[in-house]
A and B are shown apart, each in its own frame.
Chain A
């Protein structure tokens, strides 16, 4: 520990001694790390466990794809409530199953507390009650709608805190009626808002999918098991996507034969069982039913390479600077060796000194990346990266828990370490290989 303190003190002395070098080093590091962190932040927001999607690593999205055997395609990409009940309600591997109306489509409404009062444009999601179990919503007031509400198509809603504030009723709104597209809906719960960057869960209002104006959105009339509902499964711990696929397999033959008898044609049916990451990360085109683990690594390798490139380019420049600085410190290395320092120890010293500088740059870079995202958070381009194009009632796109996570700290630290190693190790090693006498005689 005391050795480390000595290195830190020397690093700080070096910063003071060569302010220009230190400033350029820290700025270069900061820009490199900020660039890499922006990529990491976007990845984290898309893939990490973030409120209320805190179980993304266990969440599976089940879609459906029919093709005629002659290659033609039918557009049903989801399930009917009947199919949800039949296929998914007794799954061994599922902890929670929820059915949600397709979230690719944005359902826009206007809402006001009473007719004649200020109208607020909102986005809505149509879900079942299990939605609030699968995702861990924090209820600041009230509770979710229940199975009865779903069955009876009750006009009841769960709204966000931000919308409640907008309706000038921060508390006490539960049990009251609000106007949604001029129809009365009863508020049953108020939840902490979800960032609009979280496509699968963010909305201003949540309501039972049976309330939807157009039943065809969630139920196909001619094919009993097909519809507009997407099924989301929270796997029990220890269960895998493949186990879920195995459990669904028996329904395939049954439904295909039913489809043939209805239409008189042969069909292929792919049950798309995709983990969360597959919804947000797909660099290699999409096979109908492909989402294997190796695929995840291949997909992650693209942003990883991009991050490495972002780190490598400044590292090459910094390496040149460190190399020059090491040249100036060759005599010092000679002195240290003369008094018994081993190469390995000196190498550690150089790395640790540079690590202090890199960490300074890392902290600045981390803040820069945050500032950058804060600056662009409402831009169309940024939102489109997360599949969102609407304005939320309240801007909650930057929530602290999205940024202050151990994973991101580890990524930032790893970026610092990689950059440091690339920039400092080679010039330091070259300098340390010089004979002591040559080092001692080196002019500063």
Chain B
């Protein structure tokens, strides 16, 4: 199998004038292409930090990150990192992170806008993925007019519209009730099984984690399982 994510000796230290916090300590993880991986652990154990480093939203203090065969070094400019995120990664956040002033279709087309794709193509593809997450009837609604589950579906549509190899989901069901949570997990499983997308999901929910292909557990910044 092809390794799509490779983290080697990752350390992340947060420093303030008074205190130094080791968020991640010597983390080594490899994720195969097409895998659905759960990352579990108590609050503050470094799960989200790990996901942020995988998603190039944050930099490790030391160690190397390799995504899709590309080593992400300090030499990459902000613009190169932005391009890489745009083409390779899709994010689903616990609090959805939709833009409240944009409607569903405009929120979903965002990654394509920054890829420079033309308006009609953006709209066509946005409609396609919105239909796939079952929200065709809500395209012109703004996030405040949607339920939590619907918002997360919009977030998933936005994550997949650019056809990224990797989807990083940070507690995607954390703000949802159990039924909606199950729906969203079902959707992510579908994306993994039918489209072969690699998914890394941070979760507190043992039951949901059990439905993924592999689980890794963290405690105090270290991988324990």
Contacts and interface: CB of A to CB of B under 8 A. Distances in A.
A338 B101 CA distance: 18
Given A17-B101, A340-B115, A440 B93 contact: yes
A342 B118 contact: no
A95 interface: no
A14 B100 CA distance: 9
A342 B58 contact: no
B221 interface: no
Contacts of B114: 336, 339-342, 345
B91 interface: yes
B101 A14 contact: yes
A119 to B, nearest CB: 67
Given A13-B101, A440-B97, A6 B113 contact: yes
A13 B106 CA distance: 12
Interface string A4-23: 01100110011001000000
A437 B113 contact: no
A341 B82 contact: yes
A340 B82 contact: yes
**Interface residue range, chain A:** 20 to 34
A335 interface: yes
Nearest to A438: B58
A437 B170 CA distance: 13
Contacts of B111: 339-340
A340 B85 contact: yes
A442 to B, nearest CB: 11
A117 interface: no
B78 A342 contact: yes
Interface string B108-149: 001101110011000000000000000000000010000000
Interface string B65-99: 00000000000001100110111000101000111
Nearest to B144: A17
Nearest to B107: A335
A314 B213 CA distance: 59
A437 B23 CA distance: 14
B158 interface: yes
A436 interface: yes
Interface in A328-377: 331-332, 334-345
Interface of B: 52, 55, 57-58, 78-79, 82-83, 85-87, 91, 93, 97-102, 106, 110-111, 113-115, 118-119, 142, 158, 162
24 contacts: A2-B118, A3-B119, A10-B102, A13-B101, A14-B101, A17-B100, A17-B101, A331-B97, A336-B110, A336-B114, A337-B82, A338-B57, A338-B97, A339-B86, A339-B91, A340-B82, A340-B86, A340-B87, A340-B162, A342-B78, A342-B79, A344-B79, A435-B58, A436-B57
